[in-house]
Structures are given as structure tokens and as C-alpha cells.
Structure 1
């Protein structure tokens, strides 16, 4: 909330400053741009990585750009808006080299806006309002590029520098055609240069794609999310299935209470044991179920992170072995009973 308040104050001061330099219609565009960005931040909600269980009723959602790989997006977001401001206010006063680099960054920014739009349009959660900001940002960037190229004279003038190589470079870029061609050619070198610099700080070379694919419920997502935390109830075994895949070993999707859940063997064994108790002693089963419902949900609310889920899985291992021993002792086909858990809608749901 403090960050949003700071952003509002900054935007108001910036727009008041614009009144001295730009026409009123451009101020209206700047105000609308800020409003769409503010809505983008507000409707992003409380974002979580794809491997965490969330409660959608609590305004939680999954991140559309993986936090582990979003640095390159932040860098180009900042560079894109610096270029927008430079070409908006001072395009005629900029030397050819800066103009070419500014246009190059805008081209890259259009690409990032485009893939972000596709990522958001593929949402399974109905968050289409988030598309407004990158779409408007793309249109503004495109209009700045067109206006800059259209308004430039055939030959650009520039102030001589004390560095001869810089003067020669600006001279070669001083025609409109040379400026446009060089700005397009520079796209790959600039992108590679930024990527290499970020790799020195631990970023991956393919962070641009991983930031989109290592998500869930969005356009380019390649991961399934754990079962949502029901707003009125949740169970310990299901939360345990939200841990690290290498540890909890998820097997497949299953059905519980008309909802899809991720099923692992520990969850199957626990539910098969409960089914065995219900068959042998309905009275004992009702007692166990009553107390499990009473304390299980309160306990599960404390198990929201991956490490807590992993710990729960490990702590339940001795119980799992005990359940398995009982199943092999009292069932004719224990593995068949275990295998069919959550494959269909059952009357007993863990």
C-alpha cells in the first residue's frame, strides 16, 4: 500500500510537470497510462509461485512471471520507459546514437509487451483486465516509434564530441534510413548484452522463456498447480502432496469432492486405510473422522509453504507404514484398494 501511495504521488507530480511541456491531449494519455498501470498492480493480487497451494477466495493468485526469472523483465521495463520519455520529450535534441539505441529498446519492449499479452490472455482464472496495461503500453510505444521516425529530418544534426570515434559513429547514423536500419540491427546485440550481464548475477540465459513457462494457469504455463486451499476446509494429506515433487512423488490427478487434486501414494494409502476402518467398524470411523475434521483444518492452515509440506510428508511416513501394514494384514488385494483411491468420486474423501 505504501508503494502504491508513493506511485500515486509521483504520478501526480509528473503530470503537473507535463503541463508546461506537452499539449493537454498528451497529458490525458499519460493519465490513462498511469491508471492502467495502477489497475495492473492492484489486480495482480497476492501472487504465488506455481508449486504453492492458494486460496482463490482470499484474493490470492499465481504469478504470471516467475519471480525467480523476472529480473530481465524488470530491467527492460525500466529501459523501455526511459526510452519512451526520452523520445517523447527530446527526440529532436538527441544525438543519432542515442536515438538508435532508444528505438532499439522500444522494439524490444514491444516484444516483451506482446508475449506478456499472450501470457495474460491465456489465463484460466479470468484476469483479462490485466491485459489493459501491456496492450496500452504497446500502442503507446508503437506510436512513439512511428512519430519519431516520421518527424525526423532526412539528415540529423548533432553536437561534436571530443571523441573522434563517437563523431564518426554519429555521422554514419545521421540519415533516417541508417538510423532505422541500425536500430533494428542492434536488437539482438543489445538483448544478448543485457542477458550476459544478468547471467553474471546468477540469471539463466533462457530467463525470458522460463519466466513465462515456470508458472501455472497462464498462456505459456507448463506446470500444474497443487489443489486450491478450499475456503472452508482442507486436509492434511492433501497439503502434504504440495511439497517438492522429488520428495512427495505425485502420481496423477484425482477427484475429491468434485475437485481435481494431485494424488501421491501416501495420500492413497491414508485414504485406503480410512476406507478399511469404515468397513470394519463404522462407529470407530465416525469417531476418527469427527476428530480429524475438527483438528485437521486448523493444522492445515499452518502448512502453506513447500518446506512445511515436505516436513508433513516426512512426519507422516511412520503412519503411512503403519497404515500399509494394516492394509496388507486385513485386505485380500491391498494394492488394488490403494490404486483405486481418488480415481472415481468416492463416498469417503480424505
Structure 2
């Protein structure tokens, strides 16, 4: 039994060394395939199988494989390779391919995720008032150039050490590459801590930084071993030479520093020492482009909603997908004319006169003709909420405001015909405890 298991693992390793990306896709597909079988059996058991279901399962299989299962599989492969002590040359080449795939897909997926509504993160600083469950940016937008510069320097350090032959790299340049990657690792750690404790849909954005930290650790480990393998004979020969026959006979201190630097086992510590000077150089250069010296700190603290945040943002305005609430909150102020804040579902919403008139009209409908009100309410719930989801621009909100004007005049006429104090009824809409509030 043990021999069979060893043979299976041996074949998997050989396949990984030849086609690592194909292996990741196969493993992801198998996982989804097994899960899909159970879902398919349950679907057939309850409602049968139609052609549309087959198409749905096909596209679901592809999307789940690429976006749901593949990232954890790549993360697991990346983590496993970190603990392999003596990988072969083929395995190292496969590791590089997986690392590139992780960096590329992680970047693309993260941007796509931020552009969708899943994360609720918008590219707005803490001063901006947001809506519903939206969150401010975790990094202050004014410091983005400094953060981007650090990310680029970290990636340059990674590509230098991972893809440049160590025979053509000086030990000092290798140490600077490690220092650059350290800066990237610190940035990744700060990003993870900034987001930690949030909802799961936010923590998804920590997958790429966590993987990059593992990639940095692997790169440093492999570079140290590779340098030692290439330069070990030279180190042994130089260690046997007397100081006067060494490279720096006039400077014993410099000679010892040279020997210390040539020993790759010291590189993690030396790289750590070079991190602060390298960061200082980056800050000085970015100051020439208008960045502040403390941008590295303000990037995380000049925010709201996150762990390092030192600012308190204005309270979010709720318009919970009722399209007249959306118009009042999202349109241009000169057009939709917001009046005040009101209370709706226990949350503050922006109220304008059009919204108050519509709500007052519904009150009268409910009081005078309950059946007609229930019918109109059902139609509104069916079509009103989907319309609200498409109001994402102030100009769209303005257009809806103008289109609703004839209805607003009709509502106002009905209110004046049916109520002896029409303006009082309109004025108390969405006021806490003042009047019965109809829930749109």
C-alpha cells in the first residue's frame, strides 16, 4: 500500500515538474466535478434535467473552476513548495511558473473584485459620504504613488533574484533585491492587518498579499542555496588565504565585510539592515513628485472603516434601493433639491419633496383604498427595486426625477383633495415618531 502511494505521489511530482499550470487546472476541475455531481443528482431528483440546466452547469463549472477553486489550489501549491527542502531544477522552474500565474491572476482577480459590488469598497477617502454598506478605500488615495512605487520596487527585486542568473549578480545587488522584497512583504502584512476582522468578502482581497509573502520567503531560501552552490568553492579558497593575500590587503575591516557579504547565509539579516536606507531613498524620490515624507504612514492611518484608521467618516446615507430614495440621495443637489435627513427602516436617508409627496400619497391610498394600495404596492415591489439598481449615476437620478414630475403633480393633487392639512402630512414624512411611515 505504501509503495502504491509513493508511486502515485511520484507521478504527481513528475507531472508537476513538466506541466504545473495544467496540474493546477486539473485538480481544480476535479474538485468542482465531484461537487457538481452531487448538485446535479439533487437537481435531477427534485425537478428533472433540462437543456438550460446543462448549459448552466457547463458555464458554472468553468466559472467556479477559474474563480472559486483555482485560487485556493494555487495557494496550496505555493505553500507546499515553500517546505520542500531540496527541490530539483525542474521543480524550481515549475515553481516560477506557478508564482507568475499567482501574481498575474491575483492582480486581475483583485481588480475585478474591487470593480464589482461584492467588496463594497469604493475609491473614496474618509471625508466622502457614502451610501448603504459602502466602505472607504483602505489606502489613502493621496499616498497611492508612494505605495505603488514600493510595490514596483518589490516586484523588481523579486524578478531580479528569481530570473537573473546569480552568476551575473553581485552580492550587494542581491542584498538590495532582498531588501526590496522585504518592503513588499511589509506592505502585504500591513494590507492584511488593515483588512483583518472584516467580512469574508473583504478578506478575499488578502489572498494575493499572503501568497506574495510566501513567494518572497521561497525566493530568499532558493537564492541563498543557489548562491552557496555556485560560490562555495571560491569561499573555501578565500577563507584559506591570509588577509594580506586577500582582495583588500590594506583594509582588514573591508575584507571581513566582503567575506561576510559573500556568505549568502547572512543575506536575510543584511537585507533587513538595507531596508530602511532603501525606503529612505524611495521617499526622497517620491518627494520630488509631490509626496509627503510620512506618506507611508498616512497611507494607512488617513482612512476610515479599517484597523489602522485614525479618521471618523460621515455616517453612510441609506437609500436601500427604493428608487425615489436613490434619486433624492444620488442626484445633483441643484436638481433633486434634498431637504433634510429622514428615518427609514431605522437608518438615515436623504429626503426631498418629491419623496415626501410620494410617501404621503401612498398613505392616503392605504387609508382610503387598501385593496388598490396592495395591488400598486405589488407592482412597485416587482419593478421599482430593479429600476433602483440601475441608478448608479447622478445624471440617471436627475433623469428619473424629471420623469417622475407628472406623477408628483398627480400625487399632490390627490393629497390636496383628500386631506384637510395636506402640507402637514407631507412635512412629517420620514420623521421619527411624528406620523405613521409607510415603508416603500
- Answer yes or no: same fold by TM over 0.5: yes
1:248–1:128 Cα change, 3 Å: same
Which is further off, 240-249 or 303-312?
240-249
Contact 2:140 2:300 in 1 (8 A): yes
1:117 and 1:336 map into 2 onto residues whose CA distance is 46
One of 282, 287, 291 as aligned partner of 2:369? 282
1:269 to 322, 334, 356: 356
Q: Structure 2 unaligned runs (5+)?
A: 1-65, 67-87, 123-128, 239-253
Distance across 2 between alignment mates of 1:105 and 1:198: 20
C-alpha displacement at 1:137, in angstroms?
A: 0.8
Residue 83 (structure 1) aligned with residue 157 (structure 2): yes
* Among candidates 98, 109, 116, match of residue 184 of structure 2: 109
Task: State whether structure 2 residue 281 is matched by structure 1 residue 190.
Answer: yes
2:330 and 2:200 mapped to 1: Cα distance? 20
Displacement of 1:184 in angstroms is 2.8
> Aligned partners of 1:302, 1:129: CA distance in 2, in Å?
26
Q: Rate the CA distance shift 1:291–1:53 in 2: closer, same or farther, 3 A.
A: same
- Inter-CA distance 302–336: structure 2 relative to 1 (3 Å threshold): closer
Cα drift, residue 219 of structure 1: 5.8
Q: Secondary structure at the match of 1:199?
A: coil
Cα offset for 1:308?
3.5
Q: Match of 2:439? A: 349
Rounded to whole Å, the distance in 1 between the matches of 2:277 and 2:324 is 54
Q: Which residue of 2 aligns with 1:339?
A: 431
The one of 119, 122, 141 equivalent to 2:216 is 141
1:41 and 2:78 correspond: no
Aligned counterpart for 2:422 among listed residues 321, 327, 330: 330
Equivalent-residue separation in structure 2 for 1:47 and 1:215 (angstroms)? 21
Q: What SS class does the counterpart of residue 201 from structure 2 fall into? A: coil
Query: Deviations along 1:186-210, whole A, 9 cap, x unmatched?
Result: 143134135325537xx99748755
Matched position secondary structure for 1:265: strand
TM-score (norm 2): 0.49
SS of 1:263's partner is strand
CA distance in 1, matches of 2:343, 2:365: 24
Secondary structure of 2:349's partner?
Answer: strand
Deviation per CA, 1:122-174: give whole Å up to 9, x if none.
432535444332112112213434665785789999xxxxxxxxxxxxx7985
Shift of 1:212: 8.7
Distance 1:330 1:239, change over 3 A: closer
Q: SS of the residue aligned with 1:349? A: coil
- The answer to whether the 8 Å contact 1:64/1:215 transfers is yes
2: CA distance, partners of 1:338 / 1:271: 12
What residue is the counterpart of 1:29 in the other structure?
95
* Equivalent residues, number: 299
Distance 1:310 1:147, change over 3 A: farther
Unaligned 5+ runs, structure 1: 5-21, 158-170
Query: Is the 8 Å Cα contact of residues 100 and 180 (structure 1) preserved in structure 2?
Result: yes
1:237 and 2:312 equivalent?
no
Partner of 1:300: 388
Q: Which moved more, 1:280-289 or 1:31-40?
A: 280-289
User: Which protein has greater RCO, CA pairs closer than 8 Å, 6+ apart?
Assistant: 1
If each structure's helix is expressed as a fraction of its own residues, which one has the higher value?
Answer: 2
- What is the alpha-carbon distance in structure 1 between the residues aligned to residue 402 and residue 147 of structure 2? 37
2:158 partner SS = helix
Q: Bigger radius of gyration, 1 or 2?
A: 2
Q: Tell me the secondary structure at the aligned position of residue 304 of structure 1.
A: coil
Contact 1:66 1:214 in 2 (8 A): yes
The aligned counterpart of 2:59 is none
Q: Which residue of 1 aligns with 2:82?
A: none
Q: Tell me how far apart the structure 2 counterparts of residues 184 and 235 of structure 1 sit (CA, whole Å).
A: 53
**What is the CA–CA distance in structure 2 between the aligned matches of 1:53 and 1:347, rounded to whole Å?**
21
The alignment yields a C-alpha RMSD, in angstroms, of 5.5
